[in-house]
């Protein structure tokens, strides 16, 4: 392609076939730029979604930890209440 462009630069008259080729190359270049721009936009959207997902995962991990701690406290309290009730039943049965 580069050789063809250099050859065209040296011509004083450019044949119709060569003009058609130049137009085709220009159209291809425009399409390539559009594709590159769209790919870049999609990449930016993907990066944003990935970062948002990371934040969500961190938040959910923190929530999970807090819920687990709260559940452990509830279980401990329930075990204590069961033990107290068991002791009262054992005392009443004697």
Is the separation of the CB atoms in 8 and 14 below 8 Å? Answer: yes
Predicted pLDDT of residue 74: 96
- Rounded to whole angstroms, what are the CA distances from 36 to 29, 30, 60? 10, 10, 36
Predicted pLDDT of residue 94: 66
Predicted pLDDT of residue 29: 94
Predicted pLDDT of residue 92: 75
- Rounded to whole angstroms, what are the CA distances from 57 to 4, 13, 71? 55, 65, 20
From first to last of its 94 residues, the chain has per-residue pLDDT tens of 778 777 777 777 778 888 888 889 999 999 999 999 999 999 999 999 999 999 999 999 999 999 999 999 999 999 999 999 998 888 876 6
Domain boundaries, the chain: 2-93
How many whole angstroms separate alpha carbon 59 and alpha carbon 74?
Answer: 22
């Amino acid at each position: 392609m580069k050789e063809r462009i250099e050859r065209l630069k040296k011509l004083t008259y450019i044949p119709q076939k060569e003009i058609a080729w130049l137009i085709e190359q220009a159209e291809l270049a425009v399409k390539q730029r559009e594709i590159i721009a769209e790919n870049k936009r999609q990449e930016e959207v993907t990066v944003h979604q990935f970062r948002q997902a990371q934040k969500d995962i961190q938040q959910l991990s923190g929530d999970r930890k807090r819920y687990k701690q709260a559940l452990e406290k509830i279980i401990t309290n329930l075990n204590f209440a069961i033990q107290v009730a068991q002791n009262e039943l054992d005392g009443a049965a004697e």
